[in-house]
Chains A and B, each alone.
Chain A
Amino acid sequence: MSDTVLKLENITKFFPGIKALDGIHLNIRPGEVHALIGENGAGKSTLVKILTGVYFPTSGKISYKGEDVSFKTAIEAQEAGITAIHQEASMFPELSVTENIYMGHHLKGGKIGALSWRQMKKQTASLLNRMELDINPDTLVKNLGVAQRHMVEIAKALSIDADVVIMDEPTSALTLREVEDLYKIVRQLKAEGKAIIFISHKFDEIFEICDYFTVLRDGKYIGEGRVADHNIDEIVTMMVGRSLDQMYPKSDVEKGDEILKLDNLSSDGVFKNISFNLCRGEILGFFGLVGAGRTEVMRAIFGIDKITSGDLTLRGKRFRPHSAKDAMRQQIAYVPEDRQSQGVILEMSIAKNITLPQIDDLSTFGFLHSKKEKEISVEYGSMMEIKAASWNVDADTLSGGNQQKVVLAKWLSTKPEILILDEPTKGIDVATKAAVHKFVSDLASKGLAVIMVSSELPEILGMSDRVIVMHEGEITAEYSRDEADSDRIIRAATGHAWAEGS
């Protein structure tokens, strides 16, 4: 085994009140692709931020090339040779590709040290060329597509002559062809003797490209090993901490009558010709890459986004929502993707959060009935088993999992007949995740129609009665629970469904 280039010992990161990381060990070696595995919320992103100098660890030791280091800023880490492709969109939409790549380390030239745009453009062009990307360095990033933006993000990381390259879920928005391109780049970097930290929770990727892995769960170090010496089940068990049956307690339900039907629903430039139906008691899974248009379809059904053509039929009647209120009147509930900014209102109490969608019904002439309000919030809050000191504490004092339970309680209290869940377990701990799955399964068995948008394949496979796959704004495949398998779904999601003619 070659020398360790980057070594983390007992890294702990406390945010006041939260233990984000607890005793993490990591050994990164040159010429090796090291998978950092964990579910959403396991602490991977926090660890990346520590490695890149965005955060400072509370305790623990980082040694880099044999020396103890502590990066105080992102620049320090970069100059030392650690670069990262961040998961979040960390682009400047109004600026050019060249500038996005060089922001923070613009090249200077000449006697007075003016920025040398010619040089930067030239190098950008050759970098993009090397990555076989057909992108003009002068293009403004806001004019690029999602996948192209992601490739620019990768180019940005590579523009620094780094020894350690961190890739945080680099494939989440890429098509199959682009993923192949990325693998090529990764192999090239590996051959150059660089260390790569590859963060993912997709097992096909890990087995395809990674040599070694470390597993995190709920902020704790769980274990490590050579990828070749383990099979998927072993790694999944480490990552999830329990068997899949416990994680996805889906009970078989008899399908009820059809409640919602979409016919060629389109929204200009966002999605087109979306047709499917939904029955009572059914969990319909929606899979696709980031930016495939799943969320947009759901938002259209919920009346937030505009529909340009096509029909929605609800309980046999034509339905055209113009606002969330319209959809709510028809007993549709939508748990949005971004819990922190769209789901809960952080600085409002749990009780007020729960009753917000129906306050108009809890009032006469606009005056609130506080008793009724209280009853409803206690009823549904207890049903969801929210853990908190009182119903009057603000939602921002809760953990991510409990916040999600507040959002679920809020929507269940409106007594929906259709529940749309958009990434319902993103960023919450394993225990809550299992609990949420259990609730959803129970509700469906009582006749609720559920649409579940998710980017986690195990969740889709484990929970859905039927799976619909979207790619670039269109539905590319539909599978029953028995037909669905990861290989088929991934192919359909990356635009290769035609290969098997479905």
Chain B
Amino acid sequence: MKVAKNFKTLMQKREVTLIILIVILTAVVTFRAPGFIKINNISRILNDTSILMIVAIGQFFVILTGGIDLSVGSIIAFSGMAASMMNQYNPALPVVLVLLAGIVIGAVLGAINGVLVTFGKVPPIITTLGTMSIYRGFTFVLSRGQWVTAHEMSENYMNIPHGHFIGISNLIWSAVIVVVLTYYFSKYTRSGREVYAIGGNKTAAHFVGVSKPKVDMIIFSLSGLLCGLAGVMWTARYAAAVNETAAGFELQTVAACVLGGVSVAGGSGGIPGVVLGALFLGIINNALPVVNLSPFFQMFIQGVVVLLAMFVNTLMGKRQEKSVLKRRCS
């Protein structure tokens, strides 16, 4: 009983730690630049973070099974480019359809990863390392190396993320919806729990009839689908579809997961942690200019943050293991 309680507090600790860190970080930055917590800036941070959150959640499910999806940036670029070009060439097409098309394209690209992993037996790292460059290459092929810029996009398209509903942008709303739905999926559906099962113990999962191919197909398609959504949001928000869109984004999504306490070895972690992890990263990125660091530092800092977070996760995992052994013996 005590064990359970101890652990529960520990488990909550990661989320609590993150919240505390976020508060401290915000306080420090605000102290230097009082404008940091103005409504405008907060809404900018949330908007900036929403896309990361959406994609990180897809990444989370893949990592949960012990895999990794390195192709997220390229899927975002391809589906974003495809959606933008649809809009560019058919400005009359309802943007809802364009949005849907972007999502579907993302899901299909994700499903291709899934097929390679499940039926091709190609490990996730290799699959997504390969498709990362394949999808990126096809983005160039599709765009013939050209950009889609603001004046080639319709007003409606650019309004997909910018539009408001009770004072909150559609982009934030979409992140909220994704968070709620995926949380429900991960907690209250059999398939969601099966993702945990596969990541936790493949053999045991097999014994209770959990199908690894099915789970792999679901998570890679889901990751792709969320990237598709993110692709449309990204191009519309920044009013540009370029070939390099979201290059290197995979690291940020992994970072959000690792920060959120997701074990890179698979089997443990939760949506709330990932959301907070993404938020934390978003605040750091936004705080850089405030503390007079050029945006060029972003990459460096992200590397440090991920390494640190992983380090902490590993040490905590080790300590727990030890204490269990101790209990068993005394």
A residues at B contact (CB < 8 Å) = 52-54, 73-76, 78, 86, 88-95, 99, 103-106, 108, 114-115, 117, 134, 136, 138-140, 142-146, 268-272, 291, 293, 472-473
Contacts and interface: CB of A to CB of B under 8 A. Distances in A.
B187 interface: yes
A145 B324 CA distance: 8
A115 B208 contact: no
9 contacts: A53-B209, A93-B267, A103-B208, A104-B210, A108-B190, A140-B7, A142-B320, A145-B328, A291-B328
B251 interface: no
Given A75-B209, A90-B207, A99 B193 contact: yes
B329 A272 contact: yes
Contact of B207 (A86, A93, A269): A86
B204 A91 contact: yes
Given A134-B1, A140-B7, 7 more contacts: A89-B201, A90-B203, A92-B205, A92-B267, A94-B263, A115-B189, A117-B188
Interface string B209-239: 1100000000000000000000000000000
Q: Considering the complex of A and B, which 10 residue pairs feature the smallest CB-CB distances, nearest first?
A: A104-B208, A269-B326, A75-B209, A90-B204, A92-B200, A114-B188, A74-B209, A269-B325, A139-B4, A94-B268
A86 B4 CA distance: 25
Q: Label chain A's interface by main secondary structure.
A: loop
A167 B1 CA distance: 28
B60 interface: no
A116 to B, nearest CB: 9
Interface centre among B188, B268, B329 (most CB of A within 10 A): B329
A271 B329 contact: yes
A103 B197 contact: yes
Interface in B1-30: 1, 3-4, 7-8
Q: Which of B7, B189, B207 has the most CB of A within 10 A?
A: B207
A90 B324 CA distance: 19
Contacts of A99: 193, 196
Contact of A94 (B184, B200, B330): B200
Nearest to B190: A106
B206 interface: yes
Contacts of A115: 187-190, 193
Given A95-B196, A103-B193, A115-B188, A143 B3 contact: yes
A103 B209 CA distance: 9
A95 B206 contact: no
Given A99-B193, A138-B4, A270-B329, A54 B267 contact: no
A73 B323 CA distance: 38
A383 B171 CA distance: 73
B327 interface: yes
Contacts of B210: 103-104
Nearest to A79: B209
B318 interface: no
Given A103-B205, A143-B324, A136 B193 contact: no
Contacts of B329: 269-272, 293, 472-473
A274 to B, nearest CB: 12
B7 A54 contact: no
Contacts of A291: 328
A74 B196 CA distance: 18
Contacts of A473: 328-329
B322 interface: yes
Contacts of B4: 136, 138-140, 143
Greatest chain A CB density within 10 A among B189, B199, B201, B208 is at B208
B233 to A, nearest CB: 28
B298 to A, nearest CB: 32
Contact of B209 (A78, A92, A143, A269): A78
A262 B287 CA distance: 60
B200 A73 contact: no
B326 A268 contact: yes
Contacts of B200: 92-95
Nearest to A99: B193
A472 B328 CA distance: 8
B123 to A, nearest CB: 17
B328 A146 contact: yes
A98 to B, nearest CB: 11
Contacts of A138: 4, 8
A73 B207 CA distance: 9
Contacts of A117: 188
A269 B193 CA distance: 33
Nearest to B196: A95
Contacts of A139: 1, 3-4, 7
Interface in B166-211: 184, 187-190, 193-194, 196-197, 199-201, 203-210
Contacts of A142: 320, 324
Given A94-B267, A114-B184, A139-B3, A269 B330 contact: yes
Contacts of B194: 103
Nearest to B268: A94
Contact of A106 (B3, B193, B203): B193
Contacts of B187: 115
B243 to A, nearest CB: 40
B1 to A, nearest CB: 5
